[in-house]
Structure 1
Amino acid sequence: MYDSFIQQLAGLDLSGLSIKPAPFDKTDFPCDDAIDQTLAGAWSDLFAMFADTALEADAEDIAWGFVNLFHRAASRKSSQLDRASDEIRALLACADGSEVHSSNLEEQIERAQAAEATMIAFERMRETAAALYLDEIGTSWRPMTGSRSNHSAQVTSAVINARDFLRVRAERRRAAHTPEGTPVVFAGGRSSFPTTDEAKAFAANVWATLDKVRDRVPDLFVVHGGDSKGVDRIAASWAERHDVQQLVFSLDRRLGARAGFKRNEQMLKLEPRYVIAFPGNGVLERLVIEAKARRITVVDRRGLTGSVSKSDR
């Protein structure tokens, strides 16, 4: 990661500029084992304290906040990296070859390197905490706003003409926010069941359906609406457990009653391989109709407890 970053900067053709090694390397940060063991221990002690007390009902909120600590720390470092990138852009625009200019540019590059390295370390901690959240709560962790991107999971090729660090930075940001593979849309509403057994059967049908679709589309990524209280939550948990990327289209509340239909349009523009439909409202019915009109295969699970719908038999 850091070597390629240096290579990307090495082509800066400015008089007097020398690209120094990154201020940090992997040995300057906690190792993976230390992160895993420390966070697991802290998590276990924290929630053992809540068990069988009046605070147990608030455990999910505390768990979410625990993960969010690292997410916010990574976001702050990402903002610092953006600011350093802006400074580099300004310095490149007024390059005069002087020693002072080169020194200022070197300083901003070092700031960018430090911010990126620290951002990736905090993202690693967030992902460890998110895995603990999944085990404890049973659903995927998501931030209140924005994306849960993971820059360390992306590989950015070295740029032959590495003068333009800013372009590489933009490409890396796009890669971190762009899932790879074949889109599969998952849709459904909020359901209630008279018995626990029926609720479990419904969840099992969701997982079984996603398993079957994944058998046909091994490189799928799941596109859903991100409803934390509906069937999307079950799909998100499945994706997290199976290391499948997710693309979430939240409702744009500013659109009022049109928000759901606009989201349908955005999802179908991805040209998904399948649309998986579980019971929902009229907006979902319209999604199914439009998908079929576009000759997109619909996996219809709108029957009782998420079983195969009559129209799909």
Structure 2
Amino acid sequence: MPSTLSAQLAALELGHLSIANRPEVDRSLVAPDPEAVTHTLTAVWSDLFALLTDTNLEPEAEELAWGFVNLFHRAATKKAGLIDRATDEIRLLVASGDGSEVHASELEKQVDRAQAAEAAMIALEGLRETAAQLYMHETGHSWRPAGGSRLSHDANATSAVVQGREFLRARAESKRKAAMPAGKPVVFAGGRQSFPTTDEAKQFGENIWATLDKVREHVAEMVLVHGGDSKGADRLASAWAEARRVPQIAFGLDTRLGQRAGFRRNEQMLSLDPRFVVAFPGNGVLERLVIQAKERRIQVVDRRGPLGTNPKRAAAPAA
């Protein structure tokens, strides 16, 4: 029975998972100093966009700013993929353990590589978050990736262990915490709106921020949960969370489900047992979310009236 890693991979046709033959990394290296990161990225940002001012590239500034943040996001995502592949190898080694010294050495080496990749991923996520703050300050919008989620892993969660089973447990816990930050969820829902005037659009945005500020007063360690739409109410709520440094989770639509996708997302968000559901004007899927929340006795902050106001108060003057 073959016991080496390469033989096991060959038997299972998992050769594409191998991260062997990569250069050894010095795990004594430390992450960049956060203060130095802030100063450096701020200087680069300022110089780059000052260069575009009053040129024919000025209209492209926001797109370039998004790409600047995405540079670090993509690098962190690649490291996350490397960790996942290393985790597969560690899982295989744990399952095929024969107690030999060669096997133990290979397991330790793979865990060491995975930990180094994890430390690099966390450092790159730190660079991304600093750049995302600059993007928020420049554009007024929360930075969102084109696809997938913007997860941030705990900088203190790197698994300082050399035993395979412990690493696998620590990795699973790290991914869980990144996907679901500690705190009490508050679900925000609202669709895309159009307004006849800029003033009305501004008032709508201000009402979203004011409502979320009020909700936050009643929810300690609030985590904002929303649909992750890059336009409309979700984007305004996401910008609020970015500005207030409130953790947020975006539930994207599973397009494979077709018309069922929106209702499935409702179920996922409500399964978190949120403290509140904050509802702004939207479509029938949103109306169903409100109905389901009330059925579960989840308190609904209803702002589906004109410009995101309480519909009952809006109806009173009309009556």
Same fold (TM over 0.5): yes
Partner residue in 2 for 1:28: 30
Partner residue in 2 for 1:260: 262
Point out where structure 1 has 5 or more consecutive residues left out of the alignment. 1-21
Question: Is the counterpart of residue 66 in structure 1 residue 68 in structure 2?
Answer: yes
Per the TM alignment, residue 274 of structure 1 is displaced from its structure 2 partner at its CA by 1.2
Partner residue in 2 for 1:302: 304
Bigger mean CA deviation after superposition, 277-286 or 84-93: 84-93
Structure 2 SS opposite 1:179: coil
Q: TM-score, normalised by structure 2?
A: 0.83
Per the TM alignment, residue 28 of structure 1 is displaced from its structure 2 partner at its CA by 3.4
The answer as to whether partners of 1:188 and 1:231 remain within 8 angstroms in 2 is yes
Pick the aligned partner of 2:201 from 175, 194, 199: 199
Bigger mean CA deviation after superposition, 120-129 or 138-147: 138-147
Partner residue in 2 for 1:283: 285
Per the TM alignment, residue 254 of structure 1 is displaced from its structure 2 partner at its CA by 2.2
> Structure 2: which amino acid aligns with 1:266?
Q
Per the TM alignment, residue 168 of structure 1 is displaced from its structure 2 partner at its CA by 1.7
Q: Distance in 1 between matches of 2:261 and 2:252?
A: 9
The percentage of aligned residue pairs carrying the same residue is 63
The answer as to whether partners of 1:139 and 1:237 remain within 8 angstroms in 2 is yes
The answer as to whether partners of 1:300 and 1:309 remain within 8 angstroms in 2 is yes
Q: How does 1:1-313 map to 2 (within 5 A)?
A: 23-25=26-28, 28-153=30-155, 155=157, 163-310=165-312
> Structure 1: which amino acid aligns with 2:242?
E
Bigger mean CA deviation after superposition, 216-225 or 104-113: 104-113
The answer as to whether partners of 2:227 and 2:253 remain within 8 angstroms in 1 is yes
Per the TM alignment, residue 290 of structure 1 is displaced from its structure 2 partner at its CA by 2.2
Q: Deviations over 1:243-296 (max 9, x none)?
A: 111121112222222222222222222222211111112222222222222222
The answer as to whether partners of 1:300 and 1:311 remain within 8 angstroms in 2 is no
Q: Distance in 1 between matches of 2:49 and 2:213?
A: 32
Structure 1 residues 50 and 102, CA gap change in structure 2 (3 angstroms): same
Q: Distance in 1 between matches of 2:100 and 2:270?
A: 53
Q: Distance in 1 between matches of 2:285 and 2:149?
A: 25
Structure 1 residues 164 and 100, CA gap change in structure 2 (3 angstroms): same
The answer as to whether partners of 1:154 and 1:172 remain within 8 angstroms in 2 is no
The answer as to whether partners of 2:190 and 2:286 remain within 8 angstroms in 1 is yes
Q: Distance in 2 between matches of 1:174 and 1:280?
A: 30
Q: Distance in 2 between matches of 1:198 and 1:83?
A: 50
Per the TM alignment, residue 85 of structure 1 is displaced from its structure 2 partner at its CA by 2.2
Q: Distance in 2 between matches of 1:94 and 1:293?
A: 50
Q: CA RMSD in A?
A: 2.4
Partner residue in 2 for 1:17: none
> Structure 2: which amino acid aligns with 1:247?
I
The answer as to whether partners of 2:118 and 2:158 remain within 8 angstroms in 1 is no
Per the TM alignment, residue 134 of structure 1 is displaced from its structure 2 partner at its CA by 0.9
Q: Which structure carries more relative contact order (alpha carbon 8 Å, separation 6+)?
A: 1
Partner residue in 2 for 1:3: none
The answer as to whether partners of 2:94 and 2:164 remain within 8 angstroms in 1 is no
Q: Distance in 1 between matches of 2:264 and 2:26?
A: 46
Partner residue in 2 for 1:14: none
The answer as to whether partners of 2:159 and 2:170 remain within 8 angstroms in 1 is no
Spell out structure 1 runs of 4+ moving beyond 4 A. 153-159
